[in-house]
Amino acid sequence: MNTINYNEAGRVNNPHGVDARKLYSNEHVQAVHIHLKAGESLKKHATAVDVFFYVLEGEGIVEIGDEKQLVSKDTLIESPKNIPHCLYNESNADFRVLVVKTPAPTTDQNKKAIENIVNSK
């Protein structure tokens, strides 16, 4: 049995500048824990694979395409591939989300997504 503790997983450098920790990855799926502190957000971006978000703690705003919705703990949100999306924490508490990408993005797909985020500044 392989177990991974969030607190022991190393932070992943990312263009959003937030606490992101890759918990699991293989060719079929990738799971990343994102911890947004009060006032933090991701930069709006699109992924080349389907994604779903599962809210672990707190509440925040999820934007997918033209839709924005306030979500809270124990909510799952679907985000289809190639649709711009974003997470915002406009509360005064922590907002923790498990991000699951399927299939796992390739290295080239990740590079392109990062380039798009960096170039959109």
Strand 30-36 with 85-88, pairing: unpaired
Report yes or no: 31 and 22 within 8 Å, Cβ to Cβ: yes
Tell me the two tokens of residue 44: 């709006």
Give the integer Cα–Cα distance in Å for 14 and 18. Answer: 7
* CB-based contacts of 30, cutoff 8 Å, min separation 6: 22, 24, 100, 101, 102, 104, 105
The CATH homologous superfamily of the domain defined by 23-119: Jelly Rolls (2.60.120.10)
Tens of pLDDT, residues 12-62: 999 999 999 999 999 999 999 999 999 999 999 999 999 999 999 999 999
Give the confidence band of 121 by pLDDT, cuts at 50, 70, 90: low
Domain boundaries, the chain: 23-119
Name the pTM for this structure: 0.92
Please name the residue ranges forming H helices in 11-106: none
Q: Which pLDDT value is given to residue 119? A: 80
Across the chain, what does the average pLDDT equal? 95
Query: Which amino acid, one-letter code, is at 38?
Result: A
Res 114 pLDDT > 90: no
